[in-house]
Structure 1
Amino acid sequence: MKLWLGYGTEHSMNLVMIGQFEDSREAAQAFAALQHFKGQVSDDEDSGLLEVGDPPDRYTEGMMKLLYDVGSYSLHPGEFEQFAYDVDMDLNGDKIVITTDEADVSAFLKVLIGKGARVEVYSAHDHVNTGYGRGSQH
Protein backbone atom coordinates (compact mmCIF):
# COMPACT_ATOMS: atom_id res chain seq x y z
CA MET A 1 0.00 0.00 0.00
CA LYS A 2 1.31 3.43 -0.87
CA LEU A 3 0.73 6.25 1.60
CA TRP A 4 0.30 9.68 0.08
CA LEU A 5 1.99 12.66 1.61
CA GLY A 6 1.14 16.01 0.17
CA TYR A 7 -1.05 19.01 0.22
CA GLY A 8 -4.62 19.08 -0.91
CA THR A 9 -8.04 20.41 -0.29
CA GLU A 10 -11.40 18.92 0.44
CA HIS A 11 -12.63 20.34 -2.85
CA SER A 12 -12.66 17.73 -5.60
CA MET A 13 -12.73 18.60 -9.28
CA ASN A 14 -16.03 16.85 -10.05
CA LEU A 15 -14.81 17.07 -13.62
CA VAL A 16 -16.92 16.14 -16.60
CA MET A 17 -15.42 15.48 -20.04
CA ILE A 18 -17.77 14.83 -22.94
CA GLY A 19 -16.43 13.60 -26.26
CA GLN A 20 -18.92 14.09 -29.08
CA PHE A 21 -18.28 12.01 -32.22
CA GLU A 22 -19.67 12.03 -35.75
CA ASP A 23 -21.47 8.75 -35.10
CA SER A 24 -21.86 5.94 -32.59
CA ARG A 25 -19.34 3.72 -34.42
CA GLU A 26 -16.54 6.27 -33.89
CA ALA A 27 -17.57 6.72 -30.27
CA ALA A 28 -17.53 2.95 -29.71
CA GLN A 29 -14.02 2.69 -31.21
CA ALA A 30 -12.73 5.48 -28.96
CA PHE A 31 -14.42 3.92 -25.93
CA ALA A 32 -12.76 0.59 -26.71
CA ALA A 33 -9.38 2.34 -26.96
CA LEU A 34 -9.89 3.95 -23.53
CA GLN A 35 -10.84 0.57 -22.06
CA HIS A 36 -7.73 -1.02 -23.59
CA PHE A 37 -5.54 1.69 -22.05
CA LYS A 38 -7.16 1.14 -18.64
CA GLY A 39 -6.61 -2.61 -19.00
CA GLN A 40 -2.96 -2.21 -19.99
CA VAL A 41 -2.28 0.07 -17.04
CA SER A 42 -3.93 -2.44 -14.71
CA ASP A 43 -1.76 -5.21 -16.17
CA ASP A 44 1.38 -3.07 -15.80
CA GLU A 45 0.44 -2.26 -12.20
CA ASP A 46 -0.17 -5.92 -11.37
CA SER A 47 3.19 -6.92 -12.85
CA GLY A 48 5.07 -4.15 -11.01
CA LEU A 49 5.98 -2.24 -14.17
CA LEU A 50 3.95 0.81 -13.15
CA GLU A 51 3.36 2.30 -9.73
CA VAL A 52 0.75 5.02 -9.36
CA GLY A 53 2.42 8.07 -7.87
CA ASP A 54 5.73 7.23 -9.52
CA PRO A 55 5.02 7.69 -13.24
CA PRO A 56 7.44 5.98 -15.61
CA ASP A 57 9.60 7.89 -18.06
CA ARG A 58 9.57 5.00 -20.55
CA TYR A 59 6.83 2.98 -22.18
CA THR A 60 6.38 -0.64 -21.18
CA GLU A 61 6.29 -3.17 -24.02
CA GLY A 62 2.55 -3.50 -23.54
CA MET A 63 2.08 0.26 -23.75
CA MET A 64 4.12 0.46 -26.96
CA LYS A 65 2.13 -2.31 -28.58
CA LEU A 66 -1.16 -0.75 -27.52
CA LEU A 67 -0.18 2.71 -28.81
CA TYR A 68 0.58 1.13 -32.17
CA ASP A 69 -2.57 -1.04 -32.22
CA VAL A 70 -4.86 1.85 -31.25
CA GLY A 71 -3.09 4.43 -33.40
CA SER A 72 -2.61 6.89 -30.53
CA TYR A 73 0.87 8.34 -30.47
CA SER A 74 0.57 11.53 -28.40
CA LEU A 75 0.58 9.99 -24.92
CA HIS A 76 3.65 10.47 -22.76
CA PRO A 77 4.68 7.48 -20.60
CA GLY A 78 3.96 9.48 -17.44
CA GLU A 79 0.36 10.07 -18.50
CA PHE A 80 -0.53 6.38 -18.52
CA GLU A 81 -1.06 6.29 -14.76
CA GLN A 82 -4.13 8.50 -15.29
CA PHE A 83 -5.89 5.38 -16.56
CA ALA A 84 -5.50 3.89 -13.05
CA TYR A 85 -7.39 6.77 -11.42
CA ASP A 86 -10.98 6.55 -10.22
CA VAL A 87 -12.74 7.53 -13.45
CA ASP A 88 -16.22 6.65 -14.68
CA MET A 89 -16.66 6.27 -18.44
CA ASP A 90 -20.00 5.91 -20.16
CA LEU A 91 -20.69 5.31 -23.84
CA ASN A 92 -23.98 6.86 -24.86
CA GLY A 93 -24.62 6.67 -28.61
CA ASP A 94 -22.27 9.10 -30.33
CA LYS A 95 -20.75 10.46 -27.12
CA ILE A 96 -18.46 9.36 -24.33
CA VAL A 97 -18.97 10.92 -20.90
CA ILE A 98 -16.07 10.75 -18.45
CA THR A 99 -16.45 11.86 -14.83
CA THR A 100 -13.74 12.04 -12.20
CA ASP A 101 -12.53 13.97 -9.19
CA GLU A 102 -9.04 14.14 -10.69
CA ALA A 103 -7.48 17.17 -12.37
CA ASP A 104 -4.97 15.21 -14.46
CA VAL A 105 -6.99 14.08 -17.46
CA SER A 106 -4.69 14.90 -20.38
CA ALA A 107 -4.44 11.23 -21.40
CA PHE A 108 -8.21 10.95 -21.79
CA LEU A 109 -8.35 14.27 -23.66
CA LYS A 110 -5.61 13.19 -26.07
CA VAL A 111 -7.32 9.89 -26.85
CA LEU A 112 -10.71 11.53 -27.43
CA ILE A 113 -9.30 14.25 -29.68
CA GLY A 114 -7.06 11.77 -31.46
CA LYS A 115 -10.11 9.67 -32.26
CA GLY A 116 -12.00 12.64 -33.73
CA ALA A 117 -14.10 13.93 -30.84
CA ARG A 118 -15.19 17.46 -30.15
CA VAL A 119 -14.53 17.72 -26.42
CA GLU A 120 -16.23 19.72 -23.68
CA VAL A 121 -14.64 19.84 -20.21
CA TYR A 122 -16.10 21.50 -17.12
CA SER A 123 -16.54 21.20 -13.37
CA ALA A 124 -19.97 19.97 -12.34
CA HIS A 125 -19.53 22.08 -9.19
CA ASP A 126 -19.94 25.17 -11.37
CA HIS A 127 -22.37 23.71 -13.91
CA VAL A 128 -24.81 21.76 -11.77
CA ASN A 129 -27.78 21.46 -14.11
CA THR A 130 -26.11 19.48 -16.88
CA GLY A 131 -27.10 16.09 -15.51
CA TYR A 132 -23.46 14.96 -15.36
CA GLY A 133 -20.88 14.86 -12.62
CA ARG A 134 -20.32 12.87 -9.46
CA GLY A 135 -23.58 12.42 -7.63
CA SER A 136 -25.75 13.44 -10.60
CA GLN A 137 -28.43 11.31 -12.14
CA HIS A 138 -28.40 11.28 -15.95
Structure 2
Amino acid sequence: MRIWNGYGSEHSMDLVLIGRFQTVTGAKAAEERMEALKALAEEAWSDDDWRTPGERMSGELGQALAEMKLYDMGRYDVDVFALDHTVTRTGETVRIWTDESDVQGFLKALLHSGAKVEIFSRHEWDEDTSNRPDASDRSDGGSG
Protein backbone atom coordinates (compact mmCIF):
# COMPACT_ATOMS: atom_id res chain seq x y z
CA MET A 1 0.00 0.00 0.00
CA ARG A 2 1.21 3.49 -0.84
CA ILE A 3 0.25 6.48 1.28
CA TRP A 4 0.32 9.89 -0.34
CA ASN A 5 0.86 13.01 1.70
CA GLY A 6 -0.01 16.31 0.12
CA TYR A 7 -1.88 19.52 0.35
CA GLY A 8 -4.61 20.70 -1.96
CA SER A 9 -7.16 23.41 -2.15
CA GLU A 10 -10.20 24.11 -4.25
CA HIS A 11 -9.75 27.81 -3.68
CA SER A 12 -8.91 29.97 -6.66
CA MET A 13 -7.13 33.27 -6.26
CA ASP A 14 -9.28 35.09 -8.87
CA LEU A 15 -6.56 37.71 -9.30
CA VAL A 16 -6.53 40.70 -11.59
CA LEU A 17 -3.26 42.33 -12.60
CA ILE A 18 -3.56 45.75 -14.22
CA GLY A 19 -0.64 47.23 -16.08
CA ARG A 20 -0.95 50.92 -16.93
CA PHE A 21 1.37 52.26 -19.61
CA GLN A 22 2.31 55.76 -20.68
CA THR A 23 1.34 55.04 -24.28
CA VAL A 24 -0.93 52.74 -26.29
CA THR A 25 2.21 51.58 -28.12
CA GLY A 26 3.74 50.40 -24.83
CA ALA A 27 0.56 48.51 -23.91
CA LYS A 28 0.41 46.87 -27.35
CA ALA A 29 4.06 45.81 -27.04
CA ALA A 30 3.34 44.23 -23.64
CA GLU A 31 0.29 42.44 -25.02
CA GLU A 32 2.34 41.07 -27.93
CA ARG A 33 5.14 39.98 -25.57
CA MET A 34 2.64 38.07 -23.43
CA GLU A 35 1.18 36.38 -26.53
CA ALA A 36 4.71 35.32 -27.47
CA LEU A 37 5.33 34.04 -23.94
CA LYS A 38 2.09 32.05 -24.03
CA ALA A 39 3.10 30.39 -27.32
CA LEU A 40 6.58 29.71 -25.92
CA ALA A 41 5.14 28.26 -22.71
CA GLU A 42 2.75 25.98 -24.56
CA GLU A 43 5.59 24.77 -26.78
CA ALA A 44 8.02 24.23 -23.89
CA TRP A 45 5.50 22.88 -21.34
CA SER A 46 6.77 19.81 -19.59
CA ASP A 47 5.45 17.53 -16.88
CA ASP A 48 8.97 16.71 -15.68
CA ASP A 49 9.81 17.20 -12.05
CA TRP A 50 12.98 19.24 -12.73
CA ARG A 51 15.10 17.09 -10.44
CA THR A 52 18.12 17.34 -12.70
CA PRO A 53 19.55 20.73 -13.65
CA GLY A 54 19.38 19.92 -17.38
CA GLU A 55 15.59 19.73 -17.20
CA ARG A 56 15.14 23.17 -15.71
CA MET A 57 15.39 25.21 -18.90
CA SER A 58 16.22 24.14 -22.39
CA GLY A 59 18.71 26.08 -24.48
CA GLU A 60 15.92 26.97 -26.91
CA LEU A 61 13.84 28.48 -24.14
CA GLY A 62 16.80 30.45 -22.82
CA GLN A 63 17.57 31.73 -26.31
CA ALA A 64 13.95 32.80 -26.88
CA LEU A 65 13.92 34.69 -23.58
CA ALA A 66 17.22 36.37 -24.44
CA GLU A 67 15.80 37.48 -27.80
CA MET A 68 12.89 39.08 -25.90
CA LYS A 69 15.43 40.66 -23.50
CA LEU A 70 13.80 38.88 -20.56
CA TYR A 71 17.07 37.84 -18.95
CA ASP A 72 15.71 37.41 -15.43
CA MET A 73 12.81 35.12 -16.36
CA GLY A 74 13.12 31.46 -15.49
CA ARG A 75 11.33 28.37 -16.65
CA TYR A 76 8.62 28.63 -14.00
CA ASP A 77 7.99 32.28 -14.93
CA VAL A 78 7.31 31.13 -18.47
CA ASP A 79 5.24 28.09 -17.45
CA VAL A 80 2.62 30.34 -15.81
CA PHE A 81 1.73 31.55 -19.32
CA ALA A 82 0.66 27.99 -20.23
CA LEU A 83 -1.87 27.95 -17.38
CA ASP A 84 -5.39 29.35 -17.66
CA HIS A 85 -5.37 33.14 -17.84
CA THR A 86 -6.84 35.95 -19.92
CA VAL A 87 -5.04 39.03 -21.23
CA THR A 88 -6.95 42.03 -22.60
CA ARG A 89 -5.85 45.50 -23.63
CA THR A 90 -7.88 48.70 -23.69
CA GLY A 91 -5.90 51.74 -24.72
CA GLU A 92 -2.93 52.13 -22.38
CA THR A 93 -4.18 49.45 -19.97
CA VAL A 94 -3.46 45.72 -20.00
CA ARG A 95 -5.48 43.42 -17.72
CA ILE A 96 -4.63 39.85 -16.80
CA TRP A 97 -7.12 37.56 -15.03
CA THR A 98 -5.80 34.38 -13.42
CA ASP A 99 -6.68 31.90 -10.70
CA GLU A 100 -3.00 31.19 -10.02
CA SER A 101 -1.26 32.57 -6.95
CA ASP A 102 2.16 32.62 -8.60
CA VAL A 103 2.09 35.67 -10.83
CA GLN A 104 5.83 36.43 -10.99
CA GLY A 105 6.03 35.75 -14.74
CA PHE A 106 3.12 38.10 -15.43
CA LEU A 107 4.67 40.78 -13.23
CA LYS A 108 8.04 40.51 -14.95
CA ALA A 109 6.45 40.77 -18.39
CA LEU A 110 4.47 43.87 -17.38
CA LEU A 111 7.33 45.58 -15.55
CA HIS A 112 9.84 44.91 -18.33
CA SER A 113 7.42 46.63 -20.69
CA GLY A 114 7.26 49.73 -18.48
CA ALA A 115 3.95 49.23 -16.68
CA LYS A 116 2.76 50.60 -13.39
CA VAL A 117 1.14 47.49 -11.89
CA GLU A 118 -1.81 46.96 -9.59
CA ILE A 119 -2.87 43.52 -8.29
CA PHE A 120 -6.03 42.59 -6.45
CA SER A 121 -8.30 39.64 -5.70
CA ARG A 122 -11.82 39.79 -7.07
CA HIS A 123 -12.87 37.96 -3.91
CA GLU A 124 -12.40 41.26 -2.07
CA TRP A 125 -12.49 43.98 -4.75
CA ASP A 126 -14.66 44.88 -7.75
CA GLU A 127 -13.21 45.70 -11.17
CA ASP A 128 -13.49 49.42 -10.39
CA THR A 129 -11.24 48.63 -7.37
CA SER A 130 -13.96 49.40 -4.85
CA ASN A 131 -14.29 47.05 -1.89
CA ARG A 132 -16.93 44.37 -2.47
CA PRO A 133 -19.80 44.76 -0.03
CA ASP A 134 -20.16 40.98 0.44
CA ALA A 135 -16.43 40.53 1.23
CA SER A 136 -16.85 41.73 4.83
CA ASP A 137 -19.58 39.11 5.41
CA ARG A 138 -17.08 36.27 5.09
CA SER A 139 -16.03 34.74 8.37
CA ASP A 140 -12.79 33.35 6.92
CA GLY A 141 -11.35 36.65 5.70
CA GLY A 142 -12.28 35.95 2.09
CA SER A 143 -10.40 32.71 1.62
CA GLY A 144 -13.32 30.64 0.51
How would you bin the TM-score normalised by the shorter chain?
Answer: 0.7 to 0.9
**Does the CA contact (< 8 Å) of 2:14 and 2:121 recur in 1?**
yes
CA change 1:55–1:113 in 2 (3 A) is farther
- 8 Å contact 1:55–1:77 — kept in the other structure? no
Give the paired residue count: 122
Relative to 1, partners in 2 of residues 1:87 and 1:129: Cα closer, same or farther, differing over 3 Å? closer
1:35 matches 2:54:
no
TM-score (norm 2): 0.75
Tell me which amino acid in the other structure corresponds to 1:81. D
User: How has the CA–CA distance of structure 1 residues 130 and 10 changed in structure 2, closer, same or farther, with 3 Å as cutoff?
Assistant: farther
Residue 127 of structure 1: how far off its partner (Å): 0.4
Q: Spell out, residue by residue over 1:6-65, the C-alpha distance to the aligned partner (whole angstroms, 9 max, x if none).
A: 4233321110000001111011111111111110111123xxxx22x7458532233222
TM-score with structure 1 length normalisation? 0.78
Shift of 1:129: 5.0
User: Which residue is 2:119 aligned to?
Assistant: 121
Gaps of 5+ in 2: 130-144
User: How far, CA to CA, are the matches of 2:62 and 2:33 in structure 1?
Assistant: 14
Structure 2 CA distance for aligned equivalents of residues 35 and 104 of structure 1 = 18
Matched residues in 1 for 2:60 and 2:18: separation? 27
Give the 5 Å matches for 1:75-86.
75-86=73-84
Unaligned segments of structure 1, at least 5 residues:
132-138
Q: Equivalents in 2 of 1:36, 1:119: separation in Å?
A: 20
State the match for 1:98 in structure 2: 96
Question: Between the two proteins, what is the percent identity of the paired residues?
Answer: 32
1:129 and 1:70 mapped to 2: Cα distance? Answer: 31
CA contact (8 A) 1:37 1:66 kept: no
Contact 2:77-2:106 at 8 Å conserved across structures: no
Q: Deviations over 1:42-99 (max 9, x none)?
A: 1123xxxx22x74585322332222122111111223221111100110111111000
Query: How many angstroms apart in 2 are the aligned matches of 1:24 and 1:66?
Result: 25
SS in 2 for 1:71: coil
1:1-138 matches, within 5 Å, as 6-45=6-45, 50-51=46-47, 54=49, 58-130=56-128
